[in-house]
Structure formats: C-alpha cells, structure tokens
Amino acid sequence: MVKADWSIFEEDYWAINSVLSDLLKSSNSRSTLLIDRTGQLISNIGTAPEFDVTSFASLCAADFEANNQLAQLIGEKDFSTLYHQGTEESMYLSKIVNDVILVVLFDKSTTLGLVRLRVKRAVDELVTIVQNLFEKLEYRNEEYDAPLVDDDFTKEVEAEIDSLFAD
C-alpha cells in the first residue's frame, strides 16, 4: 500500500533524522532524502540541493517505479537499489519498506562502496522505524474507523440533497 498522507510522530521524526544524519556523516555524502513511492518528501538532511526538492522527490519515485517495471520485464520482482553515476555528482536509491525510498546524493569526495556499505546499515535501522510507524498509524486509524456520522444523519442529508435537485 502506498501512503500519500504522512503523519509522523515526533519520536519517529527524530529517529528517522538521526539515522539520516549518521548516514550522511559516515558515508561522507552531501544529502540524504527519505521519500515515498508517490514522490512525497518525508525528510531531507544535509546540504540543501540547488534544485526543487519536491520535483526531485517525484522524479526519484517515478524513476524507481520505471525501474521496477523493467525488473518485472526481465523476470525480477523488483530492484531494491538503483545507482546513477555522473561525472561530478551521483545518487544511490534504496527501497526501505512499505514503498519508502532512501536517496543519497554524493560527489567524488566519497566512493560508491562506502555509500553502499553505510546505506545497508541505515536501511536496517530505517526498516524498524518505518514498520513501527506504520503499526502506530494503523492502530491509530483503527481507533477512528467508527463512523463519524450515524445512519440517521446520513439519510437526512441524502433526503435534503434529493429535495434540492427535485423537479
């Protein structure tokens, strides 16, 4: 299930940002972003990119989805990581869990091997945080599953709407 409406509890926010900050420092990367598969930015730590981060997050999500379609064409379930290398800048994307993607932006001051090693540890930590977050949200949503209006009210509203459009 793809969540497009994020609610993050304060302790989860700090836990996520702590993992992203540790990853940033230990991998010598420039920026780390956590996004969902709809392209919604969840968190961004590091040097602020000189481009529109919201558009970038959407493009990363679309890139991940396009590559998953390619994976299926060749008989794979999906690709859990993507790597794009440029002459000066590179990016590494890794699937976390529940359609959450970690994006790491880095330059020549680090290596792909170091980024991959540190991302693996960060993903393990983020899986736990994100799964716990979804469990909390699911529990919270179950509390609110009761109808906010009763059947009598619904019938009255429908009758009123019907009377407005009656000939």
Cα(94)–Cα(100) distance, integer angstroms: 9
Beta bridge partners of 83: 92
pLDDT of residue 47: 87
Rounded to two decimals, the pTM is: 0.76
Strand (E) positions, 48-153? 81-85, 89-95, 100-107
Domain boundaries of the chain, sorted by first residue = 10-164
Ranges of residues in the chain whose predicted pLDDT is under 70: 1-7, 98, 139-154, 156-158, 160-167
Domain 10-164 coded CATH 3.30.450.30: yes
